[in-house]
Amino acid sequence: MAAAIGGCLLAALPAAHAETFPSRPLKFVVPFGPGSGTDTSARYFARQLQELTGQPVVVENRPGANGFIAVKNVLAAPADGYTIFIGSNSTLAVNAALFKQLPYDPVADFSPLTMMMRSPAMLAVKPQATYADLKGLIAYAKANTGKVNFGAGSAGYQLMGELLNDSAGIQAVHVPFKGAADAITAVASGTVDYTFAEVTAVQELAKDGRVKAVAVASDKRVSTSPDVPTASEAGLPGFEAYTWVGAMVSAKTPPGQTARLAELFTQISKMDETRRFYERLGATPMTGGPQQMRTFQENEIALWKRIVVKAKVPQQ
């Protein structure tokens, strides 16, 4: 009987451990710098998660190398659920299409927690440009083949630029940056001709006249920038491109910890406060759990792989 009781107690230990998780500070690792859409989401969820669990949540920015630095940091950490990767369409989908060989597998190496948000990309051009709309940009690029360039703060934004090249029949040269904030700053200074970036990053600079917002790549205008037309309205029918953010942990993380984190993240994503937070940013919260995120991720990988082939983007 003692042995049986002891066995039952041992069997209950993992469940009890999962119930008390987390019991110490957590860390969010972000593959982009402060101010990016991914960073903004990470810091919002960090505050909410801290309130729900009573545990401190630290946000650590590890930008550069197409997200490889951040991914390596997460996968090298103990797989105990205390290190969480706040990834994006670039690191969790686009890289799989853009690189021949990745130092990680965005599907096999991670367990999804939940989607966090989706936001349309906004197209910004330099303030001293002689054109003020998308049609003007396209005409200028066609008249100056090979002389026009676009900045990209991530692999995702690079493929958006390549998609624009293919859709508009232009040839613009890709200039890489460590993050979207760096790319939009380069546009503001006139170093590059245009870039795709988060709505918030573009609209704030556009209000000050530091860049020109010429289109939003979605099926409808965003409420925070109602004067900016959709790409279809601006002369490029059907052109849409979105950024998204989601949370993952190492695939080696115990199921109990993964399930608890997924529960907490999904709870935050469904809060009214979260909806209002993202609406102010011109974005939309996404409330699906782990399985919905995995399906969404796999569909995104397939989508960008088709675009790489169609636009004849050289794999790196």
Per-residue pLDDT at 238: 93
Give every CB contact of residue 125 below 8 A, 6+ residues apart in sequence: 131, 137, 187, 193, 194, 211, 212, 214
**DSSP three-state, residue 151:** strand
**Domain extent at residue 152:** 120-234
Q: Percentages helix, strand, coil for the chain, rounded to the nearest 5? A: 45, 20, 35
Average pLDDT over residues 138-167: 93
Q: Is residue 305 predicted with pLDDT exceeding 70?
A: yes
The pLDDT, as a whole number, for residue 11 is: 46
Where does a domain end: 193, 214, 234?
A: 234
- pLDDT band of residue 19 (cuts 50, 70, 90) is low
Q: Is residue 9 part of a domain?
A: no
C-alpha span between 158 and 173 (Å, rounded): 10
State whether 125 and 230 are in the same domain.
yes
pLDDT for residue 155? 85
66 falls within a domain? yes
Give the β-pairing of 148-152 and 26-30. Answer: unpaired
Residue range 51-106, pLDDT digits in tens = 999 999 999 999 988 899 999 999 999 999 999 999 999 999 999 999 989 999 99
Q: What's at 80, amino acid-wise?
A: D
> Is a pLDDT exceeding 50 seen at residue 236?
yes
Domain end position, chosen among 234, 266, 286: 234
The per-type count for the chain, helices as H runs and strands as E runs, is 12, 10
The CATH number of the domain holding residue 107 is 3.40.190.150
Domain presence at residue 14: no
Verify cis geometry, omega within 30 degrees of 0, for the bond prior to 22: yes
Token code pair at residue 96? 């799989």
Q: What's the pLDDT tens digit per position in 256-277? A: 999 999 999 999 999 999 999 9
Domain endpoint, select from 180, 203, 234? 234
Shared domain for 218 and 184, answered yes or no, is yes
41, 88: one domain? yes
**Sheet strands (E) in 107-193:** 110-125, 148-152, 172-176
pLDDT of 311 strictly over 90? no
β-strand partners of 152: 176
| pLDDT at residue 2 is higher than 70 | no
Please answer whether residues 173 and 148 qualify as being in contact, where contact means their C-beta atoms are separated by less than 8 angstroms.
yes
The pTM of the full predicted model, rounded to 2 decimals, is 0.81
